Chains A and B, each alone.
Chain A
Amino acid sequence: MGNHTKRDKAWTKNDKIFLGILIPVLALFFFFNTLPLLKGFYYGLTNYRGYGDYDFVGLRNFKDIFTDLRVGKSYLFTFKYAVVMTIAVNLISLILALGLNREIRGKSALRGIYFVPNILGGLVVGYIFSFIFTYILPTVGEITGIGFLQNSMLASTKTAWLAIVIVGAWQGIAMNTIIYISGLQTVPAEVYEAGMIDGVSGWKKFWNLTFPLILPFFTINLVLCMKNALMVFDQIMSLTKGGPSQSTESISYLIYQNGMSGGQFGFQSANAFVFFLVIVIISFLQMKFLGGKEEQL
């Protein structure tokens, strides 16, 4: 971008016009993004219910977050979900992409079908899967005699989170697969030919030749997938509503549930603010770590 080499940094008339456009945009962004963030911090200092009278309670809410069992559990659940999702989705979509990138019949039709889940709304998909988990899988379990299927996956604290992962992955894989495919298409055929001469084959070839070349795509997928998983809401709302036994409450769900309808407007505002800090730290670490790795290779 820097190829116009005006050393003169003074504000020309042209610059001022640009500034005139920039300021309203910034104002809009500030008013609906930064301001609410600051307000959230302010509400976090109160025992506000969201309506009526309230008092200041200082940093009490922020202290309470770290000892609140429910908040702690929701963080644990959300992270567990995000990590498992990220691993599962990336693994499966990478395999799918490798398959879909080959010279196979009906390639574009297959790609088209595999992408479908991504365009469907999470809420409705959740409702459909909820039916499958509650009625179809137990029936299948009974017929085939597979024990763990006989109870609804959504009804047990041990499996409910897995059910949410399955639905999340069903939708998430589509996007990552497409990105991996476009990554694989950037790998030149010469790389393989060179590899063949060296006698490199199979897993080794993938790991040593292909993977480094699609590493940027891997990074994107990791970041995207993690980010989406940390904000999981629709699936919770449609599959479990946080149950059974509060075992599947994500952070977003808890903020919505207790903040909006539970009378914890102040406390959940504090929670939201802490959540924001956590996201910033994770994103920062992710970029630093993966960025460093990319340079290395």
Chain B
Amino acid sequence: MKKKNREGAVGGKAINNVINVLLALGCLTILFPLYMTVIIAFKKPSEMTNDVAGALGFPANWNFDNFIEAMRVTDFWRSLGNSLFLTGVTVIICILLHSLAGYVIGRKMAKHKLFKASYFYIVSGMFVPFAVLMMPLVKQTAQIGMANRLGVIVLYVVFFMPMNVLLYSGYLKNIPIALEEAACVDGATVWQTYWKIIFPNMKPMHATVAVLTAMSTWNDVMTPLVIMSGSDVNTLPLAQLNFQSQFGTNYNLAFASYLLALLPILIFYIICQKQIINGVVNGAVK
């Protein structure tokens, strides 16, 4: 470890080569479980012998029977549709609503105590874990007829509000107030000013919010589990949970199903890896 740090970002070539090899080897810890998932997903139960070869060797032939069967039992397309729907609508509402809220609060914070108090009130919501609110929320959403996808979306919108308001109102510092004042002189309403000037100017933040919100929503299990379980609406992770308790011992089928559940986000990641990583870093660092 000492060796690694010796040369900082510039670095001697020999040491860099060593590090290169080490890092490449380290990648195996990431790739191995994924490789294993693929291999097992293609095998037949009879190929799962009790040795390392049985678990890790290539399947006898690459056929897609497991996947077809897994798609059928988990109702894959509907779960995928639900996950896309929940994530998509949540992201859109979050961007529209939270940027507006961040703007409203951020602009008036210095002038009025009420806005400043609202800022701290909402941002402090970051300290409330979902598990704390879970049980009352289950009751509350059911009582007002929202034990469904709408309810889950609303909960996400509220749950991500503290983080996103913090991000947007923080980013507002980069947008000079003169822009708005100029628009105001031209007779634009607050509403028009916001949509024409502020909203487009917050674009980098929109990307960050979209990435952060989408990732948390897509992979979330707990909210749909407690709000919608028992209805026939499944999300992709939820389908795996139900599948596990039902067909837990057919590992080949199970792994085909897991792989299917991982694929959409993996593909999405491969396509826009840079945006995702930038978004995440922006969110954390700002």
Residues of chain A at the chain B interface (Cβ within 8 Å): 1-4, 6, 9, 11, 14-15, 17-19, 21-22, 25-26, 28-29, 32-33, 35-37, 39-40, 43, 50, 95-96, 98-106, 110-125, 127-129, 131-132, 135-136, 139-140, 143, 170, 175, 178-179, 182-184, 187, 189, 192, 201-203, 205-206, 210, 217, 220, 224, 230-231, 233-234, 237-238, 251-252, 255-256, 259-260, 265, 268-269, 272-273, 275-276, 279-280, 283
Contact = CB atoms under 8 A, between A and B. Distances in A.
A181 to B, nearest CB: 8
B253 interface: no
A9 B6 contact: no
8 contacts: A1-B109, A18-B190, A32-B137, A37-B136, A102-B19, A128-B36, A131-B251, A187-B9
Given A18-B107, A33-B128, A99-B4, A121 B226 contact: no
Contacts of A104: 16, 19-20, 23
B5 to A, nearest CB: 4
A202 to B, nearest CB: 5
Contacts of B40: 131
Contact of A231 (B8, B109, B129): B129
Contacts of A129: 33
Cβ-closest 8 pairs across A and B = A36-B136, A121-B219, A39-B136, A252-B131, A32-B158, A192-B8, A36-B133, A272-B132
A207 to B, nearest CB: 9
A15 B111 contact: yes
Given A120-B219, A139-B50, A140-B52, A33 B129 contact: no
A95 B1 contact: yes
Contact of B122 (A29, A203, A210): A29
A104 B179 CA distance: 44
B30 A255 contact: no
A101 to B, nearest CB: 6
Looking at chain B, what size class is its interface with the partner chain? 35 or more
From DSSP, what is the main secondary structure of chain B's interface residues?
A: helix
B33 A40 contact: no
Contact of B33 (A106, A128, A275): A128
Nearest to B258: A124
B280 interface: yes
A126 to B, nearest CB: 10
Contacts of B139: 39, 50
Contact of A122 (B155, B219, B276): B219
Given A124-B240, A231-B130, A203 B281 contact: no
A32 B154 contact: yes
Contacts of B129: 230-231, 252, 275-276, 279
Given A18-B104, A119-B266, A276 B128 contact: yes
Contacts of B9: 101-103, 184, 187, 189, 192
A123 B10 CA distance: 40
B127 A272 contact: no
A14 B103 CA distance: 13
Contact of A114 (B27, B127, B136, B241): B27
Nearest to A14: B190
A214 to B, nearest CB: 11
Interface string B249-283: 00100110010011001100100010011001100
Nearest to B29: A170
Given A99-B23, A103-B9, 4 more contacts: A21-B100, A22-B104, A121-B219, A192-B10
B108 A15 contact: yes
Nearest to A41: B136
B2 A202 contact: yes
Most interface-central of A15, A21, A37, A102 (chain B CB within 10 A): A102
Contacts of A115: 273, 276-277
Interface in B133-154: 133-140, 154
Most interface-central of B4, B131, B261, B276 (chain A CB within 10 A): B131
B255 A182 contact: no
A269 B136 contact: yes
Given A26-B118, A121-B219, A283 B10 contact: no
B52 A103 contact: no
A255 B134 contact: yes
A103 B11 contact: yes
B115 A22 contact: yes
A119 B281 CA distance: 14
Given A26-B121, A119-B215, A178 B281 contact: yes
Contacts of A18: 104, 107-108, 115, 190
Nearest to A186: B285
Given A1-B173, A40-B136, A101-B9, A233 B131 contact: yes
